[in-house]
Amino acid sequence: MDSEALRKFSALHPKPAGLSLQYGTAGFRSKAEQLDHVVFRMGLLALLRSKAVTATIGIMVTASHNPEEDNGVKLVDPLGEMLHPSWEEYATQLANAEEQELQKVITEICQKAAVNLHKDASVFIGRDTRPSSKKLSQSVIDGIQVLGGQYHDYGLVTTPQLHYMVCCQNTQGQYGKATLEGYYEKLSKAFMELIKQSHCSGECQRHLKIDCANGIGALKLSEMKPYFPQEVLIHIYNDGTKEKLNHLCGADFVKVHQKPPGGLDMKPNERCCSFDGDADRIVYYYKDTAGHFHLIDGDKIATLISIFLKELLAKVKQNFKMAVVQTAYANGNSTRYLQETLKVPVHCVKTGVKHLHHKAQEFDVGVYFEANGHGTVLFSKAAETKIRQLVKEEKDSEKREAAKMLENMMDLINQTVGDAISDMLVIEAILALKGLTVQQWDALYADLPNRLLKVQVADRRVIDTTDAERRALTPPGLQEKIDALVKKYKLSRAFVRPSGTEDVVRIYAEADTQENADALAHEVSLAVFHLAGGKGEPPQP
């Protein structure tokens, strides 16, 4: 390692005094002007990680659904998955090291993680459309060049596209070609193969209005348009030419505020969807003839996909294990419908994509979605091999056709991470094949009314949870109090969990009516305020 070069470059990306940041599920996020030293150092770390695992590592400059003035950076592991938890700690150490300690921290990481600095290394870089992203990705390149590594800068891409490229590269092209064209071709081919089998003649056009959050999704969807069949008519709104990224639009806005985004004109019963700022989340929605807004969130997306996959799996008659993975935020009625009506096993894990992804890997077919619209489907190696074999060798035509559809679903789904473009095509294909309208999909089950609240506390660490965050272990007496409150209402449940990023406690409650869900959430927030060291005034109803 060239200490002189490290010192010189590090001085060009100085760390602001007293700033301390934490690498979380979404990597680092902060105001863009605070991140220059962080992204430079993540360039260094990506290279060390690449040397440690002898594979290409990805680095994405984005802050997803955060406001435009924020930015962030996250690393992508060899198969397109999130950075290994032990390296999240190294990332935090490196980002917060003082200038003069930088070399020492790098040496320590190399020792702990058995990094051989003489090995080759390569990094793929991507960025979103924020005004600050280009300069920050240049700082990443500085970090890579100090340690003398190879890199490929993909420029403007969605987060899932970068995950896809990294996986393609490290599977020597087995997962696909590590180019944008390769991504567009693989997805569009699988999509066309699927909708060919929908019972619908040439004039059956499928209109879809898409709110792209004024982000990268608009650019990439426009590039992909020529690859779509004529029957699919996508109309792009909030394309970033007029308004600010994520401002009053995008999947997060629609989900949190339960209302349509600005900049999109909705007519009754039109199918609409929203991507988030880096296009890794999607939610659908429509307005009925009475003008009421209906949100179709990640839970209902997981349900639609599960219905379709379960039917196909039944037809191929293999003993595949299928399950749906949710978090405690999943609507209680979605869990009931999956378990009782569909008879699909449901597993609940802690909040955070990495926990869902990890659990879904335990099954032949693992469907996971967070209620916010981030999710995908994972197929085990054994299931994938068997399905592709049935397509080639199965004599029974019904079995073979079902296997063919499963094969196209596997190719259409981005198995590395939630991907709004891929998920949108999966949903559109299923609705076409099953002849479902958006209203029929919505009517599978009715969501239980719910309410999300947050309470500011002096220290979020006073709350410790268990049972996938559904029960509080500390402070003493809090869980007993919640249990007593829940008993007062029908079809009710409530849980509290500390935020991963700020000193607040998040509260979720659901019940048979909106009035009861609101009342329960308020009563639980008061209990948290009094028992867990609330700050300021007690919560008002």
On whether both 224 and 101 belong to a single domain, the answer is no
Q: Among the three residues 270, 294, 318, which one is the final residue of a domain in this structure?
A: 294
Tens-place pLDDT, residues 242-279: 999 999 999 999 998 889 999 999 999 999 999 999 99
Query: Parallel, antiparallel, or unpaired: how do β-strands 493-498 and 346-349 relate?
Result: unpaired
Phi, psi of 58 (to 5 degrees): -100, 150
Check whether residue 206 and residue 289 sit in a common domain: yes
**In-domain check, residue 175:** no
pLDDT at 205: 66
Cα separation, 239 vs 528, in Å, equals: 42
501 among the known binding-site residues?
Answer: yes
Gap between the Cα atoms of 536 and 256, Å rounded: 24
Integer Cα distance of 12 and 33 in angstroms: 14
Residues 372 and 458 in one domain: no
Q: Which whole number is the average pLDDT over 505-529?
A: 96
| Average pLDDT of the residues in 506-531 | 96
My answer on whether 189 and 235 are in the same domain is yes
Together in a domain, 143 and 198: no
Q: Are residues 13 and 144 in the same domain?
A: yes
Structure tokens at 164: 């896809």
Dihedrals phi, psi of 481, to nearest 5 degrees: -65, -45
CATH label of the domain that carries residue 230:
3.40.120
Does 337 share its domain with 273? no
At position 14, the amino acid (one-letter code) is: P
Q: Is residue 459 part of a domain?
A: yes
Whether residue 143 is annotated as binding a ligand: the answer is no
476: Cβ contacts below 8 Å, ≥ 6 apart: none
Q: What is the pLDDT at residue 503?
A: 83
Is the model's pLDDT at 501 over the cut of 90?
no
Q: What pLDDT is stored for residue 273 in this prediction?
A: 98
Q: By residue range, what is the domain housing residue 192?
A: 182-294
Q: What are the residues whose beta carbons fall under 8 Å from the beta carbon of 46, sequence distance 6 or more?
A: 57, 58, 59, 75, 123, 140, 143, 144
What is the model's pLDDT at position 502?
A: 76
Same domain, 290 and 311: no
Return the CA Rg of the chain: 24
The upper half-sphere exposure of residue 1, i.e. CA atoms within 13 Å in the direction of its Cβ, equals 19
Q: Is residue 426 part of a domain?
A: no
Residue 327 placed within a domain: yes
Cβ neighbourhood burial of 242 (10 Å; 0-12, 13-18, 19+): exposed
Residue that has been written with the tokens 């092209």 in this structure: 173
Concatenate the DSSP letters of all residues of 188-243 into one string. HHHHHHHHTTSS--TT--EEEEEE-TTSHHHHHHHHHGGGS-TTEEEEEE--SSSS
* Catalytic residue ranges: 64
The residue ranking higher by pLDDT, 81 or 1, is 81
Tell me the residue length of the chain. Answer: 541
What's the CATH code of the domain at 468?
3.30.310.50
Instruction: Identify the pLDDT of residue 200.
Output: 63
Is 480 annotated to bind a ligand? Reply is no
Where is the domain boundary, 294, 325, 341? 294
Domain count, the chain: 4
Q: Is residue 432 part of a domain?
A: no
What confidence tier does 229 reach under pLDDT thresholds 50, 70, 90?
Answer: confident
Q: Give the CATH number of the domain where residue 318 resides.
A: 3.40.120.10
Q: Does the annotation place 241 within a ligand binding site? A: no
Task: Looking at the structure, tell me whether residues 408 and 302 fall in a common domain.
Answer: yes
Q: Tokens at residue 120, please?
A: 């080759």
What is the DSSP code (8-state) at residue 540?
P
77 in a known ligand binding site? no
The annotation status of 471 as a binding-site residue, yes or no, is no
Task: Say if 227 falls within a structural domain.
Answer: yes
What one-character DSSP code corresponds to residue 456?
E
Say if residue 348 is in the same domain as residue 207.
no
Domain identity same for 461 and 487 = yes
Q: Is 499 annotated as a binding residue?
A: yes
Q: Quick one: pLDDT band at residue 201, thresholds 50, 70, 90?
A: very low
Is 370 annotated in a binding site? The answer is: yes
Is residue 410 a part of any domain in this protein? yes
Last residue of one domain, picked from the residues 377, 398, 419: 419
Dihedral sign, Cα of residue 191, residue 196, residue 202, residue 207: negative
Tens digit of pLDDT for each residue in 526-535? 999 999 999 9
Per the CB < 8 A criterion, the answer to whether 266 and 277 are in contact is no
Examine residue 438 and state whether it is found in any structural domain, yes or no.
no
498 in a known ligand binding site: yes
- Same domain assignment for residues 401 and 494: no
Average pLDDT over residues 175-189: 97
Strands 322-327 and 346-349 come out as parallel
